[in-house]
């Protein structure tokens, strides 16, 4: 990166919050590498005139950047790393869904005990998947599950009937309405939404209670989409709503060693790695450099975050 920006930008690297505050004051642009830190918030200049004019996130989610002082900075451009994580995450979700359908965890468990025990498997072909989140990641997940023969339903912030790829995009608010019916009709429920005020805690006890017995729940969005205590209780309840879950994201990361989630029945704990396929760091650099070219040329950003929505909308907002 340093080499590729040589002569075009003075590049400084902050390793801690104090250093960041010093460097950020008066900087033109910020590349935020750590998606899961409040360091930017802590270090953000109090004087908007000293704030950077462009913030780029080396992640898809920008929830940690959506604090009032940043959102309120006049003329600020915020971009994300759309295009890097979608396909790997979709494959990871498909892998988890198939592993659950075929009870691969049960096979590994029995293997450790040298137990040969035949079981019947489930089919993904002909099953129903509900993907919550109709952005690039949710769509990639939906596309991949559909390629495996699943019926796929997507929900998004904005209901619409004219999606070119998925037809109808359903709403995702209110478990007593259509969203509850969608939850109840799905074999696989995948959370792939950005973390916003509208999605925080969306998967709570009421949502899990709506799920079909035997369903599996997967979260590749952000940890706080889920009320973790409610998921823990649901898995422990033995009702099968859900019967299994896979979390790649958590309210606290790394997940503390004392967390009861490590031993929750039917749960896969994955260390926030679903999107990080070999080569991801180089791809992130490419996305940043492409946005750098646009920014320095005064051209519109490709991955412009809508600061009111808190993510990059699929279509420009009115």
125 makes contact with its own copies (CB under 8 A): yes
- Helix (H) / strand (E) element for 126: namely none
**Pairing mode, strands 188-191 and 128-132:** parallel
3-state secondary structure (DSSP) of residue 167: strand
- Tell me how far, at minimum, the Cβ of 145 lies from its own copies, in Å: 11
CA-based R_g, the chain, Å: 21
Active site residue 253: yes
* Nearby residues of 308 by Cβ (< 8 Å), 6 or more positions away: 71, 317
Candidates 42-50, 85-93, 186-194, 236-244 — which segment interacts with its own copies by CB under 8 A? 85-93
- Tell me how far, at minimum, the Cβ of 223 lies from its own copies, in Å: 13
Identified binder of its own copies from the candidate list 209, 269, 285, 304, rule CB under 8 A: 269
218 makes contact with its own copies (CB under 8 A): no
76 makes contact with its own copies (CB under 8 A): no
Catalytic residue (one of 82, 139, 210, 272): 272
Active site residue 222: yes
Task: Centre a 10 Å sphere on the Cβ of residue 160 and count the other Cβ atoms it contains.
Answer: 14
Candidates 43-51, 73-81, 171-179, 266-274 — which segment interacts with its own copies by CB under 8 A? 266-274
3-state secondary structure (DSSP) of residue 309: coil
Candidates 57-65, 131-139, 255-263, 301-309 — which segment interacts with its own copies by CB under 8 A? 255-263
- DSSP, residue by residue, 186-227: -SEEEE-----TTTTT-BSHHHHHHSPTT-EEEE-S-GGGB-
Candidates 91-99, 177-185, 226-234, 294-302 — which segment interacts with its own copies by CB under 8 A? 91-99
Name beta bridge partners: 219.
Answer: 191, 247
Considering only CA atoms, which of 207, 223, 218 is closest in space to residue 61? 223
148 makes contact with its own copies (CB under 8 A): yes
Catalytic residue (one of 19, 91, 159, 253): 253
Buried b (16+ CB within 10 A) or exposed e, 201-211: ebbbbebbbbb
286 makes contact with its own copies (CB under 8 A): no
- Helix (H) / strand (E) element for 73: namely none
Considering only CA atoms, which of 93, 81, 94 is closest in space to residue 136? 81
Identified binder of its own copies from the candidate list 10, 161, 278, 297, rule CB under 8 A: 278
- Tell me how far, at minimum, the Cβ of 48 lies from its own copies, in Å: 35
Active site residue 272: yes
Active-site positions? 222, 253, 272
Note the residues at the interface with its own copies (CB under 8 A): 87-88, 91-92, 94-96, 98-99, 101-102, 104-105, 107-108, 110-111, 114, 116-125, 144, 147-149, 253-255, 257, 262, 268-274, 276-278, 280
């Amino acid at each position: 990166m340093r080499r590729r920006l040589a002569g075009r930008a003075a590049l400084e690297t902050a390793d801690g919050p104090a250093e960041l505050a010093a460097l950020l004051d008066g900087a033109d642009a910020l590349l935020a590498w750590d998606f899961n830190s409040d360091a930017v918030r802590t270090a953000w200049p109090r004087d908007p005139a000293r704030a950077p004019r462009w913030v780029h996130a080396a992640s898809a989610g920008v929830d940690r950047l959506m604090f009032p002082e940043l959102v309120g900075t006049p003329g600020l451009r915020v971009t994300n790393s759309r295009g890097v994580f979608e396909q790997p995450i979709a494959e990871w979700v498909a892998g988890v869904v198939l592993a659950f359908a075929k009870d691969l965890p049960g096979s590994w468990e029995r293997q450790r005990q040298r137990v040969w025990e035949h079981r019947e498997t489930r089919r993904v072909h002909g099953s129903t998947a509900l993907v919550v989140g109709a952005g690039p990641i949710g769509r990639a997940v939906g596309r991949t599950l559909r390629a495996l023969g699943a019926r796929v339903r997507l929900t998004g912030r904005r209901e619409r009937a004219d999606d070119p790829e998925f037809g109808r995009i359903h709403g995702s608010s209110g478990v007593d309405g259509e969203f509850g019916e969608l939850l109840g009709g799905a074999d696989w429920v995948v959370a792939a939404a950005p973390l916003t005020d509208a999605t925080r805690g969306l998967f709570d006890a009421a949502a899990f209670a709506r799920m079909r017995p035997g369903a599996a729940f997967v979260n590749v969005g952000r940890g706080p989409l889920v009320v973790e205590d409610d998921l823990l209780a649901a898995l422990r309840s033995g009702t099968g709503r859900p019967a299994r879950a896979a979390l790649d994201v958590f309210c606290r990361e790394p997940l503390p060693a004392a967390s009861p989630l490590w031993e929750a029945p039917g749960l896969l704990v994955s260390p926030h790695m679903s999107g990080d396929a070999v080569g991801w760091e180089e791809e992130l650099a490419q996305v940043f450099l492409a946005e750098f070219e646009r920014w320095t040329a005064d051209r519109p950003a490709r991955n412009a975050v809508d600061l009111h929505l808190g993510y990059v909308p699929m279509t420009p907002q009115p």
